[in-house]
Amino acid sequence: MCIQYYRIYTCGCKRQEEFVQCDERLGTNVRCDPVRQKPLPAPLHMCIRHMVDEGKDEMHS
Ligand SMILES: [Zn+2]
Ligand SMILES: [Zn+2]
């Protein structure tokens, strides 16, 4: 079965990472349904969306 890797950030967001086709589907544009969800090592920070830009707060002060 094809594998969809994902990471879960500390903010709780799940982000899809690389997709790997299994041998039967390799080289085609077909993928298994459903695909196997496989977690990657969890990052120790929040996702880009929830990370606050440095200096953002200063603009309002
Ligand atoms: Zn597959
Ligand atoms: Zn997030």
The answer to whether residue 60 is domain-embedded is no
Tell me, in angstroms, the distance from the centre of ligand 1 to residue 59's CA.
49
DSSP single-letter state for residue 32: -
For the entire predicted model, the pTM comes to: 0.74
pLDDT value for 52: 84
Ligand nearest to the CA of 46: 2
Tell me, in angstroms, the distance from the centre of ligand 1 to residue 40's CA.
19
The torsion region of residue 6 among left (phi > 0), alpha (psi -120 to 50) and beta comes to beta
pLDDT digits 0-9 by tens, 15-53: 999 999 999 999 999 999 999 999 999 999 999 999 987
3-state secondary structure of 20: strand
Domain containing residue 1: 1-43
Please give the tally of structural domains in the chain: 1
Q: Residue 10: is its pLDDT beyond 60?
A: yes
The answer to whether residue 30 is domain-embedded is yes
pLDDT value for 59: 54
The answer to whether residue 9 is domain-embedded is yes
Tell me, in angstroms, the distance from the centre of ligand 2 to residue 10's CA.
7
pLDDT value for 55: 72
The answer to whether residue 13 is domain-embedded is yes
pLDDT value for 53: 77
